Structure formats: structure tokens, C-alpha cells
């Protein structure tokens, strides 16, 4: 078959149109699929002196409904369990045997995420507000965010279906507590409130967060803008 020039131009136009159409659809639909949050770089220089932050560390149980800024979220997560020695991949909190088995799940009004320290980003899980599912106390549903500390026991050699006994978790409880204390100190430094919570209701939170059998919820922590203290 021999194409004449107008025909070639028509075919070329058609394929250019299709190409740009697909490109446009990809760009337009991308935000609906890729809802991960890339956090701004943490501010590692600011904050109150350590001794002052220790002096002001406290538990808060009254919050406003105000959100945290992206910068506060970034600083908080980095302070909690970010990477502070990139050449070794080591973190701001210690972990037994350097297992780094604790993952920080973040429940915000707009959805749930898990903190990925390597890229300092929040990986999207779902767009449900699961804050109230993380605790029974009244402030939990309204505070800006609730953190759920989840142990990934596959990093400690457990396989799917293996039994996880309480005695397997001793070191892991300690590992989560170090992160929670880092966040207490960040909150004191940033004039935010927080409370670490041992009470996390057994319910459908594991399912909602998409946890595997080898992942165990250890503790939770509420963070927010302090309200008028009672």
C-alpha cells in the first residue's frame, strides 16, 4: 500500500493525539493513585535545648482539633525514628540488635500511612480516618494524629503463621518505647501535646491497616495541639 503525503500527516496527527491523550490521562489520574506523602526535609537544627525539653516533657490529654503542619509531621517522624546516620542506615532511636522492627503507622483525618524512613515519606494505606479506632479515650478521635507502633516480627526471623509469644516481644516493647520517648521530647520542644497509650482496642485496626499475621500492634501515641488544660 502506498500512502500519499496527506494520509501520512493524518496518521501522524492521529498517533500524536493518542500519545498526548494517554499522557494527559496518566498525569491527571496519578494523584488519585499515588497518594504517598513526600515530607519536607526535617529541621535538624531548631528546637529547645535538650535539658529544657526534658524539663517540659509531659503527658497531655486535652487537644484542639487543629492539624499539624507538614513540617511538624516531618520533624516529629524524623525525631521519632528517622535515619540520622545515612551511611549505616541507623536511626534516632536504638533498637535491640539493630532489628529496626518497629514501623510507625500514622492515622490522620485524611487517611492512614506508614512512615518509610529511607525516603522520609509516608506510604499511603487508605483514605479512612482511623484515629478513633486507635483508642477508647475521648480525645483520641479529635487530636491531629494518632501513631500506632507496629512490630514487624519478620525482621526478627518470624515467618507468616509462626506463633508470637509475649516473651518474644520484651525487647520489642523497649524498642517502641524509645521511639515514643523521642516523640515526647520533640513535642515538648515544639509546644505540642502527646500521650503514649498502652490501651489500643483489639478490633479491626489490624485489618484496616492491612497488617500481616507477623505484625503486632505494640502501643499507640496521640499527638496534637494542646487544648485548654483541665
Residues that bind ligand FMN (CB under 6 A): 58-59, 61, 137, 195-199
Query: Cβ closer to ligand FMN: 62 or 154?
Result: 62
Nearer Cβ to ligand FMN (74/107):
107
**C-beta of 136: minimal distance to ligand FMN in Å?**
9
Q: Which is nearer to ligand FMN, 39 or 218 (CB)?
A: 218
CA distance 192 to 118: 25
Shortest reach from residue 176's CB to ligand FMN, in Å: 9
| Least distance in angstroms from the C-beta of 24 to ligand FMN | 50
Please report how close the Cβ of residue 91 comes to ligand FMN at its closest, in angstroms: 20
Min CB(223)–ligand FMN separation in Å:
13
Distance, CA of 179 to CA of 92 (rounded, Å): 8
- The CA–CA distances, whole Å, from 223 to 32, 57, 79, 164, 220 equal 27, 13, 14, 29, 10
DSSP string, 213-228: TTEEEEEEEEEE-B--
* Nearest CB to ligand FMN, comparing residues 59 and 119: 59
Cell reading at 157? 526471623
Q: Of the two residues 64 and 154, which places its CB atom closer to ligand FMN in the complex?
A: 64
Q: Is 118 helix (H, G, I), strand (E, B) or coil?
A: coil
* Grid cell locating 14: 492521529
CB 192 within 8 A of CB 59: no
Rounded to an integer, what distance in angstroms lies between the CA atom of residue 183 and that of residue 188?
9
* DSSP character string of 78-113: HHHH-EEETTTTEESS--GGG---EEEEEEETTEEE
Least distance from C-beta 49 to ligand FMN, angstroms? 20
Picking from 120, 126, 116, the residue whose alpha carbon sits closest to that of residue 44 is: 120
Give the shortest CB-183-to-ligand FMN separation in angstroms.
Answer: 12
Report the length, in residues, of the chain. Answer: 230
Nearer to ligand FMN, 82 or 193 (CB): 193
- Classify the C-alpha dihedral 81-162-113-30 as positive or negative: positive
Nearest to ligand FMN of 42, 175 (CB atom): 175
Amino acid at each position: 500500500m502506498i500512502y500519499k503525503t496527506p494520509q501520512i500527516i493524518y496518521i501522524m496527527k492521529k498517533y500524536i493525539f493518542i500519545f498526548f491523550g494517554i499522557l494527559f490521562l496518566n498525569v491527571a489520574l496519578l494523584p488519585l493513585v499515588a497518594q504517598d506523602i513526600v515530607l519536607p526535609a526535617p529541621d535538624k537544627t531548631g528546637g529547645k535545648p535538650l535539658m529544657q525539653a526534658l524539663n517540659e516533657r509531659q503527658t497531655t490529654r486535652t487537644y484542639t482539633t487543629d492539624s499539624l503542619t507538614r513540617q511538624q509531621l516531618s520533624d516529629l517522624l524524623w525525631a521519632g525514628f528517622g535515619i540520622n546516620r545515612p551511611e549505616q542506615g541507623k536511626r534516632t532511636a536504638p533498637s535491640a540488635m539493630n532489628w529496626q522492627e518497629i514501623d510507625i503507622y500514622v492515622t490522620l483525618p485524611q487517611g492512614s500511612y506508614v512512615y518509610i524512613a529511607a525516603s522520609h515519606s509516608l506510604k499511603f494505606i487508605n483514605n479512612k480516618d482511623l484515629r478513633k479506632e486507635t483508642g477508647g479515650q475521648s480525645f483520641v478521635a479529635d487530636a491531629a494524629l494518632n501513631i500506632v507502633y507496629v512490630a514487624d516480627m519478620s525482621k526478627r526471623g518470624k515467618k507468616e503463621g509462626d506463633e508470637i509469644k509475649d516473651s518474644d516481644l520484651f525487647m520489642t516493647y523497649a524498642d517502641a518505647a524509645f521511639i515514643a520517648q523521642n516523640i515526647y521530647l520533640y513535642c515538648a520542644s515544639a509546644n505540642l501535646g502527646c500521650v503514649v497509650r498502652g490501651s489500643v482496642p483489639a478490633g479491626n485496626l489490624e485489618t484496616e491497616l492491612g497488617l500481616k499475621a507477623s505484625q503486632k500492634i505494640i502501643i499507640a501515641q496521640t499527638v496534637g495541639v494542646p487544648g485548654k488544660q483541665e
